[in-house]
């Protein structure tokens, strides 16, 4: 598979335009090259601190508002 075949396959799968896919820069990954795109567990950091719980963030942002007419 060459680059244009890959781009066309991604276009068919996503419905995006060829220009958009070209701009995103998809490439064929070599499974033997493990240092190119490491898995999250390969990082020497605490992943729990890198994950955002968007439901918790949204809950913190929601503040009940009560209307109080001017006296």
Q: What local confidence, expressed as pLDDT, does residue 17 receive?
A: 92
How many other C-beta atoms can be found within 10 angstroms of the C-beta atom of residue 21? 18
If one compares 19 and 59, the residue with the highest pLDDT of the two is 19
What percent of the chain has pLDDT above 90? Answer: 18
Q: What is the DSSP letter of 37?
A: S
**CA 64 to mean position of chain CA atoms:** 31
Sequence ranges of the domains in the chain: 3-61
Helix, strand or coil, per DSSP, at residue 61: helix
CB 26 within 8 A of CB 2: no
Record the pTM.
0.43
């Amino acid at each position: 598979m060459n680059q244009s075949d890959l781009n066309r396959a991604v276009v068919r799968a996503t419905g995006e335009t060829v220009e958009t896919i070209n701009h995103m820069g998809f490439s064929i990954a070599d499974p033997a090259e493990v240092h190119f795109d490491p898995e999250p567990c390969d990082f020497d950091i605490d992943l729990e601190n890198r994950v955002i719980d968007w439901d918790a963030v949204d809950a913190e942002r929601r503040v009940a508002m009560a209307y109080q007419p001017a006296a």
